[in-house]
A and B are shown apart, each in its own frame.
Chain A
Amino acid sequence: MAVSFSRRIRSLAPVLVLLALCLVIASTNSNFLSVSNLIRLLSAAAIPLVLVMGATFVILMGSIDLSVEGVVALAAVAASMLVANDFTSLDLGFVALPAAMLLGGLLGLANGLLHVRLAIPSFMTTLGIGFACVGVATAILGGFTVRISDRTFRELTLGRLFDVPYSVWVAGLCVLVAWIIQERTRIGRWVYAIGTDEHTARQVGVPVERTRILVFALAGVFYGLGGAMSASQLGQGHALLSQGRLFTTITAVVVGGTALSGGVGSVLNSVVGVLVVIVLANGMVLMGIEPFVQQGVQGLLIILAVSLALDRSRLAVVK
């Protein structure tokens, strides 16, 4: 069972990269492993975690979702306008959370419907929807920023339970939900089936189209929640709030060992991926690495992580 063994090692590669990273950082800065820094890391990871839970399913299915930033921005703007703020006279409090998730879900549904019904590659539809969302957010706000005055809503990221921010608990809950969806529901199974071999999946009667649409909608729900959390974290909502989220999300999914070609990976891989990305950013500041060098290090480590996680024996052709 040599193949199996090397596969097991490979599936552990992202975890090993994470551990190695932690070890190196901890050896140069003892504060890294302090409880307060670990909590900081978790709080920084919370929103990316919520976002990757959605993106992982899309990527497992062999599609891609580039609408992350747009949907997050629009959901953040919507959430910030629903709670007490200086732009609208609404003050609906935590209704903003389900509302943002619903909005995200609808936008995801639009992604999926356009992708499947018009047979446009997901790359294009999600890119388009993403741009459209930023456009709508811009049109609503005219370039301005909604400031949130609702203290309770801000508690979502500022408040703590057992000294850990609520946002981290929310993210943990999202991981649990995503994991159950992946392991224990039909949609989860079908995502793998479609990502591995859509043709066969279709032949045995998997509703491929419906699954695709649902998965995009599901991803949208996670983005919507991530948007509301972003608004809560920064106390504001504006069209450019989510800049950089797309890169982090896709990087985390890939670094975690989920293949862009679909079928291989897991939401748990993506959790590790997020932690690698967050720990790396944190660690480079802690270690005092020159800003000019940081991006290079980041790029190299991403390539390293992916190359360790990738099962090259399955890949005769790399595209």
Chain B
Amino acid sequence: MSVLEVRNATKRFPGVVALDDASIRVDRNEVVGLIGENGAGKSTLLKVLTGIYRLDEGEVRVNDGVIELTSPRDAFDHGVAMVFQEQSVIGTLSVAENIFLGREGEFIKGGLIDRGRMNEAARVELAKVHLDIDPAIRTEELSFAQRQMVEIAKALSLDSRIEGDIVILLDEPTSVLEKREVDLLFEIIRDLKDRAAIVFISHRLDEVLAISDRIYVLRNGAVVHETPATDATVTELHGHMVGRSLHHEYYREQRQSGAGERCVLEVKGLGRTGAFEDVSFALREGEVLGIAGVVGSGREALARCLAGLLPPERGEILIDGQPARLDSPARAVGHGVGFVPSERKAEGIVTGMSVCENVTLASLADFVRNGFIRRGDERAATQGWIERLSIRTPSGRTPIASLSGGNQQKVVLAKWRVAGSRIVILDHPTRGIDVGAKEDVYELVRDMTGEGLCVLLLADTLEEVIGLSSRIIVMRDGRVSATFDSPPGGKPNQVDLVRAMV
């Protein structure tokens, strides 16, 4: 019996058919995987299921009855809960208050909220996700992963409060989680199957395969493939997603360039209290230096430090052999450092501006003559990079917010290429983007090093850091614990890296 079903859904936006006669069904006690490239229609489908969009054609059925969902809250009340990719917990409220936000009614007595009872109820929900925290503490004090768990607990709170079955939509829930936390999440999902149907959306195909019972592949707004997970393989799924088969050499190892003669960036004894200590390394032109480490190893702080966002307290940075002070982003940019941050929306792009304005943002001075911006040059430069990086956008004037995550990331890269950066820091460059776009990013990394740029990489997965880097340093507790050479054909293995990490 289907708990949630979408039949023949079509949703059009000006110029685009976002959903094209798509039908999916989620049965009771089932985990359904939903995959597809960015722009394939996953987000649109989710927004339909949570009442944000209405269908042009087709219908949504909950517990075998046709209904019209009008808002996320409405969907929630019908038993459809979404765990958002962009977290939607409110930092200034307590964990319990977040879990029951907007639904405080059951705890009201005499007009006042009974906080004791609310906290008790929250504890019950937190136990379901094995989160042992005080429900009265403010969520902003939690780690990112813990907040994610709170999100899930919030969705689970439906369980005891709704007649009938509940459906939990997990949108990229693992993209910010560490391995251990992912395992925990999977454990929870398996647990949940007794009570709920689950839709699992992820760009990590191996995870989708591991956790799902059934998988739908979306492409161009249509369901192109449906398969039991037991019958599927990553390669096959990938083929369905992109409509072509997986590139043999995923990480373009054959294009990995050897380190050049010239040392571009050298770091000596760099330290910052509470973040990292005594970090030294050298980066040569054409090299990709991977930095591996668990959360808290200090690698994020190190990257931000080299980007000028976090001044170091000790040690020395040499660029082209000359001492350089990178105590502001502007100075770092001036020294040819480009930073591609992991928080793309917050730091990588200016969402209110067009593609073109984003591309030229870091080097606007080059496009100014007599105090005026030369729009023609700006457009020409942008157009060049749109083609070179095959950024999928109608034009340079398109608002960047309307591009997919992968294409936004390319715009960020284009920005630094236009600015003439020679040291590019990639902080989780493939986080939250789909397989096809990932490959494009890998291709771009190889293009850059081929031209003599050097790259500092904080990768999303171990596989990625090994595949892309020419050399890898591993950090543990703020210090460099090991260094590995990683030439094509002679890549270090994951176990060695992990051993140095923990």
Contacts and interface: CB of A to CB of B under 8 A. Distances in A.
- In the complex they form, whether A and B have CB atoms below 8 Å apart is answered with yes
A200 B346 CA distance: 17
A178 interface: no
Most chain A beta-carbon neighbours within 10 Å: one of B88, B92, B93: B92
Nearest to B103: A205
A203 B103 CA distance: 12
A83 B210 CA distance: 77
B93 A196 contact: yes
Contacts of A190: 102
Interface stretch (B71-79, B164-172, B312-320): B71-79
B43 to A, nearest CB: 15
B91 A193 contact: no
B112 A185 contact: yes
A139 B91 CA distance: 47
A192 interface: yes
Nearest to B87: A200
Contacts of B141: 3-4
A180 B73 contact: no
A206 B98 CA distance: 11
B113 interface: yes
A195 interface: yes
Interface string A187-200: 00110110111011
A161 interface: no
Contacts of A2: 274
A184 B111 CA distance: 8
A316 B343 CA distance: 13
B101 A201 contact: yes
A292 B359 CA distance: 52
Contacts of B112: 180, 184-185
Contact of A204 (B88, B108, B274, B346): B88
Nearest to B309: A316
Given A2-B274, A204-B73, A263 B92 contact: yes
Taking residues whose C-beta sits less than 8 angstroms from the other chain, chain B's interface range is 20 to 34
Contacts of A201: 90, 101-102
A106 B108 CA distance: 27
B72 A204 contact: yes
Instruction: Say whether chain A's binding surface is mostly helix, strand, loop, or mixed.
Output: helix
Contacts of B73: 203-205
A160 interface: no
A10 to B, nearest CB: 13
A84 B77 CA distance: 56
Nearest to A195: B92
A185 B93 contact: no
B181 interface: no
Most chain B beta-carbon neighbours within 10 Å: one of A180, A205, A263, A316: A205
A264 B77 CA distance: 30
Most chain A beta-carbon neighbours within 10 Å: one of B72, B90, B112, B346: B90
Taking residues whose C-beta sits less than 8 angstroms from the other chain, chain A's interface range is 20 to 34
A200 B93 contact: no
Given A184-B113, A192-B93, A206 B101 contact: yes
Given A184-B112, A204-B72, A204-B76, A189 B88 contact: no
B119 to A, nearest CB: 13
Contacts of A193: 90, 93, 101
A189 B93 contact: yes
A186 interface: yes
Given A204-B72, A204-B102, A205-B71, A189 B115 contact: no
A264 B88 CA distance: 17
Interface in A279-319: 316
Nearest to B50: A203
A199 B88 CA distance: 9
A206 B115 CA distance: 18
B102 A206 contact: yes
Given A197-B90, A200-B90, A205-B76, A185 B101 contact: no
B101 A189 contact: yes
A205 B104 contact: no
Contacts of A204: 72-73, 76, 88, 101-103
B97 interface: yes
Contacts of B102: 190, 201, 204-206
Contacts of A3: 141
Interface string A56-75: 00000000000000000000
B458 to A, nearest CB: 20
Interface string B144-160: 00000000000000000
A192 B90 contact: yes
A263 B138 CA distance: 12
Contact of A184 (B72, B88, B89, B115): B115
Contacts of B71: 203, 205
Contact of A189 (B76, B91, B97): B97
Nearest to B107: A186
Interface string B123-158: 000000000000000000100000000000000000
Interface in B435-469: none
B37 to A, nearest CB: 26
Contacts of A263: 90-92
A196 B104 contact: no
Contacts of A184: 112-113, 115
A196 B90 contact: yes
Contacts of A203: 71-73, 88
A135 B141 CA distance: 48
B72 A205 contact: yes
Interface string A32-58: 000000000000000000000000000
Contacts of B90: 192-193, 196-197, 200-201, 263
B326 to A, nearest CB: 18
Nearest to A265: B92
A272 B116 CA distance: 28
Nearest to A186: B104
Top 5 nearest A-B pairs by Cβ distance? Answer: A205-B73, A205-B102, A200-B88, A184-B112, A204-B102
Interface of A: 2-4, 180, 183-186, 189-190, 192-193, 195-197, 199-201, 203-206, 263-264, 316
Interface of B: 71-73, 76-77, 88-93, 97, 101-104, 108, 111-113, 115, 141, 274, 346
9 contacts: A4-B141, A184-B112, A184-B113, A189-B113, A197-B88, A200-B89, A203-B71, A204-B76, A263-B90
